[in-house]
Amino acid sequence: MEKVLEIRNLCVSLNTYAGKIRAVRNISFDLRKGETLVVVGESGCGKTVMSKSIMGLLPEDISEINKDAKIMFDNKNILDMSKKELRNLRGKDISMIFQDPMTYLNPTMTIGEQIAESLIIHEKIRKKKALEGVIKILELVKIPDAKQRINQYPHEFSGGMRQRVIIAIALACNPKVLIADEPTTALDVTTQADIMELISEIQAALNTSVILITHDLGIAAEVADRIQVMYAGEIIEKGTREEIFKNPGHPYTWGLLRSIPNLGQKNKKELYSLGGTPPDLFSPPEACSFASRCKYCMKICTEIKPETTEVSETQSVTCWLRHPLAPEIGVP
């Protein structure tokens, strides 16, 4: 399958008053045409920093990216692009859906003007024609009475409708890649389902490649083609949806899966909670980052960084338990 995005050896550090946070640590992966790649992990594991680095949205004054990193799109390294090239890329070829629509919508502009802005900049068309296109886009994201609502302001929309506006802005120029960063945060369950169904429908219609960032494995189970599990700034497991849910290889992935509520369970019992806390990314462990929380931790886990084991052509796990000489341990 054709690759539309290739990330290689990406490391991102953030300089703060307390020191340097190693937010993303040497990650590599590909995104294929038309697929949905879901990135899961706890809050603070580096998912959003990774996505903003792809978009070139990290603040230059506090962020550092290693010189040998590559984010390849259309045979160009996004990290080498000028500010003008990045402006042309964002919105047109790669778009992003952010998790808090009120933060990213201008309260002083109508939603029609905000969506049209992308068309005017990237498609080089006049405002009147752009607003005609906005009506079609609003209908695509299922906002009723589009002709009237283009003249309304963000505060006149519900949370779910504001998120649809954000999706409309992201899709205005039919991007090849759509990054959705926790697109259903703070929405009720019914609205969450509607938003995810909408993204899936639009992706199928436009053949867009999607990177979905979430901590909700329930969402991943519904929409993912492939899943990447992040922990402490690293990708610790990759695989297809079936492999991650049916044959997970990393103890952290086991913990995430065990924490999903089972609606069919007859006997009430306490929901599983993974003990311990993630490592300090000001000075992350040189060996396994998960060792302090892992009940299967071996001596080598605290001394040497684990190797990545290829479980299959599509699944890999970065854990010493998957080494051929490791003791046999079944999924709990």
In this prediction, residues 118-135 reach a mean pLDDT of 87
pLDDT at 267: 62
**CA-to-CA distance for 168 and 111, rounded, in angstroms?**
10
pLDDT at 259: 82
Contact 151, 110 (CB under 8 A): yes
Q: The tokens of 234 are what? A: 């690293």
pLDDT at 112: 93
102-106, 154-158, 232-236, 241-245: which range is least confident on average?
102-106
Per-residue pLDDT tens digits for 201-214: 888 888 899 999 99
Q: Is the pLDDT of residue 277 over 60?
A: yes
pLDDT at 263: 63
pLDDT at 43: 87
Contact 143, 161 (CB under 8 A): yes
Please spell the DSSP secondary structure of 74-88, one letter per residue: TTEEGGG--HHHHHH
In terms of pLDDT, which residue wins out, 268 or 73? Answer: 73
**Taking the complete model, does pTM exceed 0.85, yes or no?**
yes
19-28, 75-84, 94-103, 148-157: which range is least confident on average?
94-103
pLDDT at 58: 93
pLDDT at 184: 81
Residues sharing a CB contact under 8 Å with residue 218, sequence separation 6 or more, in sequence order: 260
Segment (H or E) for 23: strand 19-32
Nearest to 73 by CA among 171, 2, 6: 6
Per-residue pLDDT tens digits for 288-325: 999 999 989 999 999 999 999 999 999 999 999 988 87
**CA-to-CA distance for 215 and 49, rounded, in angstroms?**
15
Q: How confident is the model at residue 331 (pLDDT cuts 50, 70, 90)?
A: low
In terms of pLDDT, which residue wins out, 140 or 4? Answer: 4
Contact 30, 7 (CB under 8 A): yes
pLDDT at 325: 74
pLDDT at 264: 62
Nearest to 320 by CA among 234, 255, 250, 238: 250
Residue 176's SS3 state is coil
Q: How confident is the model at residue 285 (pLDDT cuts 50, 70, 90)?
A: very high
In this prediction, residues 271-292 reach a mean pLDDT of 89
Mean pLDDT, rounded, of the chain: 90
Q: How confident is the model at residue 280 (pLDDT cuts 50, 70, 90)?
A: very high
CA distances (Å), 154 to each of 47, 105, 159, in order?
Answer: 27, 7, 9
Q: Hey, how many other C-beta atoms are within 10 angstroms of the C-beta on 230?
A: 22
Say how many residues make up the chain. 332
pLDDT at 86: 92
Per-residue pLDDT tens digits for 142-168: 899 999 999 999 999 988 899 889 988
Q: Strand 3-16 and strand 63-65: pairing?
A: antiparallel
**CA-to-CA distance for 6 and 28, rounded, in angstroms?**
8
pLDDT at 19: 92
